[in-house]
């Protein structure tokens, strides 16, 4: 070997410092990746819960709308049955009686 002990020691320190810096950067990158994945997973769960809540609300509103439409159809059919005994003029006026 053609180097003094002091020179080899200095090169060893430099290489050790560079290795520690590289390891530190590697571990920091892994930590950020893990934190990002945990955050993304947490957000995905929250979005899934919100999606389920909105689907339930949509289904309830659709059921309520269907019930209201059925009630209106039933009321409309009852009105038409009640107006069937009216005169032809009443039926032409949309089921409304003309003032006499």
Contacts of 89 (CB under 8 A, 6+ apart): 98
Q: Which domain holds residue 26?
A: 9-71
Per-residue pLDDT reduced to its tens digit, 31-90: 888 899 999 999 999 999 999 999 999 999 999 999 999 999 888 777 777 665 554 554
Domain annotation covers residue 50: yes
Q: What is the DSSP letter of 3?
A: S
Count of domains observed in the chain: 1
Domain annotation covers residue 94: no
Interior CA angle at 14 toward 12 and 15, to 5°? 65
Report how far residue 69's alpha carbon sits from residue 13's, in angstroms, rounded to the nearest whole number: 83
Domain annotation covers residue 3: no
Domain annotation covers residue 51: yes
State the pTM of this model: 0.47
pLDDT at 83 (0 to 100): 66
Domain annotation covers residue 77: no
pLDDT at 100 (0 to 100): 46
Residues 69, 74, 78, 84: is their CA dihedral positive or negative? positive
């Amino acid at each position: 070997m053609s180097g003094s002990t002091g020179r080899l020691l200095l090169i060893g320190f430099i290489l050790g410092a560079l290795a520690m810096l590289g390891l530190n950067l590697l571990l920091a990158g892994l930590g950020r990746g893990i934190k990002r994945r945990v955050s993304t997973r947490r957000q995905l769960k929250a979005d899934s819960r919100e999606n389920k809540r909105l689907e339930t609300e949509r289904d309830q509103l659709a059921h309520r709308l269907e019930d209201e439409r059925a009630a209106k159809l039933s009321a409309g059919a009852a009105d038409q049955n009640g107006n069937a005994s009216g005169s032809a003029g009443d039926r032409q006026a949309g089921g409304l009686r003309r003032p006499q």
